[in-house]
Amino acid sequence: MEKTPQTNSVSFHWEKLSLLKTIKYTSIVLGAILIICILTFTFFPDPFINTFIKDRVTKAFTKANPSDSIHLGNMHYNIWKNCLTCESIKLTTNKFTGSAASFSITGISWIKILRHGDFTPDILSGSALDAQDIIFNFRQSQKVLRFGMLHISTPDSEIVADSVVYYSLIEDERFFSKSKFRQTRYSFDIPQIQIMGLDFLSFLKGKYYKAGCVNIHDLFVDILVNMDKPYDKSSANPQMPNEVLSSMKEIIKVDTLKIINGRLKYSERFAVRGTPGVITINKANVSVIGIANHTTKPYTTLIHGDALFMNSGKMKLFMAIPLTSKNFSLRYSGSLSTMDATELNSFIEPCEHQRIKSGIIQSARFNIDVNAGLSSGTLQVEYKGLSIAALNKNTGSEKGFTDRISSLLNKIFVIRGTNMSDEKGLMKIGETKYTRNPEDYFFQFVWFALRNGVADVVGFPKI
């Protein structure tokens, strides 16, 4: 009877040993499987990414946006660089279609994603994104926005975009024929944009847009207005800068915006397929200081610029725009150096049906105040030898009998051929009085107010 406990004890130890072996071998197998999975994911993560992650992203997007669709190309992940790359992406919505040839993102905090189970802007706090050949096609307007390259770095608080182009897919005449009212066609081409000092996380949350400096290199803007059609009075009026910023719910704050070596081509067309009047500004360098809205105290944006006007005269400009004002107000002043007045014919002939045959502008200075859409100011322009001929509206010729009579009357009764300081330093000073029309865009208003001062000095009819 004394041997029975020993037998039970031996049996108990064998059972315990078998359990320990089972746990040991099971742990080895599970550990081996885990190591194999880790090694597989480390060296061959693409099958897992393309099978599970890509499908999950696509389904999550479709669930959040039922009317939209997204297609992702093959995805690759480098665990050593923490870099996720996608060969292509296509996005389709009711308003536009978008695509990118490739994009990659580095520095994402996958631990935060696993911990929170959701994607929040904070996850991108240490990330950087690079994309190539981005294209947005807008369905209704048939406009295209392209980016050759886009780089966004959250740690560096920087966005860099190369080859930014915005243009229409249809030719000008077809664009204007779509409406019985006046339209403005514009396009732009920007080789490079740099945004530095960007609060990127606030930018993603969509409530606060703050940047230290925005640099726009070699900007080219092309604007064409079909003046042969009436303005649509039932449409919403173009907004002035203060109206645009005050209407935005988001907070905007940009310390400095610089345009480096910019170009502008502004054209007005007065007949279908007719030659438009053209104004050009080249080699423009503009500095805008203090862009802000929703501030507790009045905030004024200051603009300094210099450029080459009509490829001839050197122009300087200063503007002060109170962006927080409820009324459209500003003040601007500037100057123009010596230039050949005939350079203005590219605009005056189609628009005014007159031709400057000769004339030299010695200098010009203007100072204009705008209060609640009403401009007033002065223009001092010194010129000599100005000769103007009237043109036939249909043929563009100055050889008709009535045109010669009109030119003669201009010389005798209207046009002031010379405006130079006399012995007492006196000369004709033009008055610039112009009230904003509802259809005026900002730069149109600035030009029309200045043009009235030119008309007062020279003798053109005022607007």
Q: Rounded CA gap, 142 and 136, in Å?
A: 10
- The tokens for 225 are 């207005």
Q: Rounded CA gap, 425 and 428, in Å?
A: 10
What are the start-end ranges of the H helices in 304-358? 345-352
Residue pLDDT tens, the chain, 463 long: 455 555 554 454 555 555 555 555 555 555 555 555 554 555 556 676 777 767 777 777 777 778 888 888 888 877 778 888 888 889 888 888 999 998 888 887 665 555 554 555 566 677 888 999 999 999 888 899 999 999 988 888 899 999 999 999 999 999 999 889 988 898 999 999 999 998 877 777 767 888 999 999 999 999 999 989 988 878 777 888 888 888 888 888 899 999 999 999 999 998 888 889 999 999 999 999 998 887 767 778 999 999 999 999 999 999 999 888 888 999 999 999 999 999 999 988 888 778 888 999 999 999 999 999 899 999 999 999 888 887 766 655 565 544 444 444 444 445 778 888 877 777 889 898 899 888 788 888 998 899 888 888 887 767 7
Cβ partners under 8 Å of residue 222, min gap 6: 186, 187, 188, 265, 267
What are the start-end ranges of the H helices in 151-309? 172-177, 200-205, 241-247
- The tokens for 360 are 């030299």
pLDDT score at 401: 41
Tokens 């107010």 label which residue?
Answer: 449
Indicate the DSSP class of residue 424: T
- The tokens for 154 are 């959250």
Q: Rounded CA gap, 124 and 200, in Å?
A: 9
Categorise residue 422: left if φ over 0, alpha if ψ from -120 to 50, beta otherwise: beta
Tokens 């719910």 label which residue?
Answer: 249
Among 239, 262, 252, 372, which Cα is nearest to 301's?
A: 252
Work out the angle at residue 403's Cα, subtended by the Cα atoms of residues 398 and 404, and round it to the nearest 5 degrees.
85
What single letter denotes the amino acid at residue 33?
I
Q: Rounded CA gap, 448 and 461, in Å?
A: 12
Contact 310, 343 (CB under 8 A): yes
